Amino acid sequence: MEGHVAGIYVPSRGSGDWRCLLADPEKHWRLGYSAVSLAESWEAAKGLPNEIGQLLSSFGSPSELLLALPEHKVPLPGSHRGHSQNDLFALIRVGDQTLAAMVEGKVDESFDKPLGEWLINASTGKRERLNFICDLLGLRQPLPHTIRYQLLHRTVSAIIEAKRFKTDMAAMFVHSFSVKRSWFADFAEFVSLFGVDAEPDRLVCVRPEHTPPLYLGWATGARAGVGATGS
């Protein structure tokens, strides 16, 4: 697996700066869809959006956004393009601890392909990548073919970066802007792999014995152009 490429980052001047980082800036940047909604929400909050703060309130300590990196790539083994391009990586202080969180923005988009479809005619590289992910997440194969692959590699990205930044905790949040909570059932099925039940707008620890401990959460925000999510 290739390592990270060192980068120099400059402060964002607004949500428009997020657009150029997308894999396809023309296709993915549309009002009412996840990329715009996520960017507008986090930019407007000037820190943590309220719904993310509510997730973290279960720790019982104040939380503070230290760093946020849109479209953050985390290398994974298995191919020359083997990386997870996460919608947002957030480094967060919670009381006297730090949390490395991957944030996946959603409106009505799915979590990409189910594992059964992703594994059709799977290359050796794909198999290697899935083995790596399952080992790091502590999941036993075979996994149900209905599990969404995107949730697997987004979550393992959080653990990789938590280890790299030496944070106390790791987390993957789905930041949803769907009033119908579209695709929550898929998220809940993924969480159930760890023997835990998922609830909207509640943070759950799925691997308390892990180093670092792993948390998963679903936060519900307002879609861009519909209402504010932060202050």
DSSP code per residue over the chain: ---PPP-------STHHHHTTSSSHHHH--TTSHHHHHHHHHHHHTSS-HHHHHHHGGGSS-EEEEEEEEEEEEE-SSSTT-EEEEEEEEEEEETTEEEEEEEEEESS---S-BHHHHTTT--HHHHHHHHHHHHHHT-PSSPPTTSBHHHHHHHHHHHHHHHHHT-SEEEEEEEE--TT-TTHHHHHHHHHTTT----TT-EEEEETTSSS-EEEEEEE-PPTTT-----
**pLDDT (mean) for 17-29:** 80
Count structural domains, the chain. Answer: 1
**Whether residue 104 has pLDDT greater than 90:** yes
Residue 144 lies in a domain: yes
Residue 61 lies in a domain: yes
Categorize the per-residue pLDDT at 80 as very low, low, confident or very high, splitting at 50, 70 and 90: low
Residue 142 contacts by C-beta under 8 Å, 6 or more apart in sequence? Answer: none
Average pLDDT of the chain? Answer: 91
Q: What is the pLDDT of residues 25-56, one digit of tens each?
A: 777 677 777 999 999 999 999 999 999 999 99
Residue 20 lies in a domain: no
Residue 19 lies in a domain: no
| Residues 134, 204 contacting (CB under 8 angstroms) | no
Distance CA 115, CA 63 (A): 35
Domain that holds residue 46: 41-220
Residue 14 lies in a domain: no
Residue 223: the pLDDT is 62
Categorize the per-residue pLDDT at 81 as very low, low, confident or very high, splitting at 50, 70 and 90: low
Residue 27 lies in a domain: no
Q: What is the pLDDT of residues 106-132, one digit of tens each?
A: 999 999 999 999 999 999 999 999 999
Distance CA 228, CA 231 (A): 8
**pLDDT (mean) for 208-223:** 93
Residue 157 lies in a domain: yes
Residue 24 lies in a domain: no
